[in-house]
Structure 1
């Protein structure tokens, strides 16, 4: 249990570093270009490392891999779109409601209702419907909720894909994601903006944001129950908000910090309930 737990926390640290680097590059090649770099380079790296073609796939694994890869690619694109419009800590606080939903569906104890209510209260404090929330771009908020839905599906189908030996599942999943994300990035990106410097940064983003985290998360998904995975994932908004403050200078209001704390506590409580049941 210790190794999967450490793997998940290592994944969060790597993702946040990659997100900070990526956000600084948005004005240069755009969200679609950054996402294409992240997914495309990650697919190449993972295919080279794990060489998934060496082991034949079972027919029942193909469907899980296709869904897993599709939601992985869409989750990357939507969360980057959210990062472009709202602080990354707030975006991830909204996104983590995906794992919270998975944890809620895994456990139906009375205290789960209280956890859900706490998360809703946190969202109320966070979103523009609350006058004290501060100004948030509603489109950015919508993108973050879309990423949350993808994260929920990622956990479910990632758990199923993790049964495939070695890193075959994550490598093939990233390949599926690249099949529609990379063409999208090519269509939206000005070729003149692609310089050797940008290529190197894109490779760094891919390693930090996808190649390393998805390998670590596959290890975590294999060794942790879905509910427990959701509990540990609940720390992501706080970690990301701190990273946004230290690296990007994104200052949040006291109300927004309180909202993030409510969502983190709700996710952790609900996931612990799922684990104990």
Structure 2
């Protein structure tokens, strides 16, 4: 896989993530978001793991367990912090702070740990995307600035950046599909208690099951496999910046499918988000990763 294709593969994975919000609108609203998160990880991870075990396509000899455990813990705590921040400070602020801070944290972590200084292209693309993300969400009503919620959002952004970095280490030793299967199965086990702590009424209905299956298979298994496959050949900071295609996709689908209306400021944010993503994707070239 060429590096240009790797950027596009990561981008497609992020676009699939962006369908999550729209899909959840078809789910009974009695189900707690964190219960949904635990369910999608369980379906996404366990289904892949069972298939691989049956086909004998997974080999645990010389498996990078330390990096895998770090990745699993990061993803599990990310779910808790992100959904909790949204409850405390609202969808707009929680999403902007989490998604906007992740690329910055990723660039800093790469600079400190991998000794890879951010490139001018990455800085320009990330700045455009973050400003676009802010314009897209910050003009919405019902914004609540809760210090604890902001702290949780920043923690979620940091954990997603850290997950991407340690996942890259896992991918240096195993293929994307087994990596996703094991990491998400471990994360799902960590989140299982939340299925008993939060409201799950409606989860076992036809609509609830169909939406959770879509979330688990398409927006978790397939999306993270694509993200991981591309991550093998591009810097983790670039992959995290490309993940900003998630809110871009969510905003567009909210207009097309859900029927929401966006203001001129929101459309300006979409244009800047798209511009930042295009700058990074079209500039894909050989770099040491």
TM norm. shorter chain > 0.5: yes
Distance 1:267 1:86 in 2: 22
1:99 equivalent to 2:107? Answer no
Residue by residue over 1:229-261, the C-alpha shift from the partner in whole angstroms, topping out at 9 and shown as x without a partner, is: 245334333222212222333434333444555
Runs of 5+ consecutive residues of structure 1 not aligned to the other structure: none
The SS at the match of 2:32 is helix
Distance 1:126 1:16 in 2: 14
Residue by residue over 1:88-124, the C-alpha shift from the partner in whole angstroms, topping out at 9 and shown as x without a partner, is: 9x82685143124323534356787777776776677
Show the counterpart of 2:50.
Answer: 48
Does structure 2 conserve the Cα–Cα contact (< 8 Å) formed by 1:116 and 1:266? Answer: yes
CA spacing shift, 1:263–1:15, aligned 2, 3 Å: closer
Match of 1:161 among 170, 186, 196: 170
1:204 equivalent to 2:196? Answer no
Distance 1:82 1:17 in 2: 20
Offset of residue 191 of structure 1: 5.7
CA spacing shift, 1:194–1:111, aligned 2, 3 Å: closer
Offset of residue 170 of structure 1: 1.3
TM-score where L is the length of structure 2: 0.74
CA spacing shift, 1:199–1:192, aligned 2, 3 Å: closer
Q: List aligned pairs for 1:1-277, cutoff 5 A.
A: 1=2, 2-25=4-27, 27-51=29-53, 54-58=58-62, 61-80=64-83, 85-86=90-91, 91=95, 94-103=98-107, 105=111, 106-108=116-118, 134-138=141-145, 144-166=153-175, 167-190=177-200, 194-259=204-269, 261-262=271-272
Offset of residue 173 of structure 1: 0.5
CA spacing shift, 1:113–1:171, aligned 2, 3 Å: closer
TM-score where L is the length of structure 1: 0.76
Distance 1:144 1:26 in 2: 25
Does structure 1 conserve the Cα–Cα contact (< 8 Å) formed by 2:18 and 2:248? Answer: no
Indicate the structure with greater helix content: 1
Distance 2:12 2:57 in 1: 28
Aligned residues: 272
CA spacing shift, 1:226–1:197, aligned 2, 3 Å: closer
Pairwise CA RMSD of aligned residues? 3.8
Runs of 5+ consecutive residues of structure 2 not aligned to the other structure: none
Distance 1:145 1:193 in 2: 30
Offset of residue 41 of structure 1: 0.9
Distance 2:214 2:164 in 1: 25
Residue by residue over 1:198-248, the C-alpha shift from the partner in whole angstroms, topping out at 9 and shown as x without a partner, is: 223211221122011111111111122324424533433322221222233
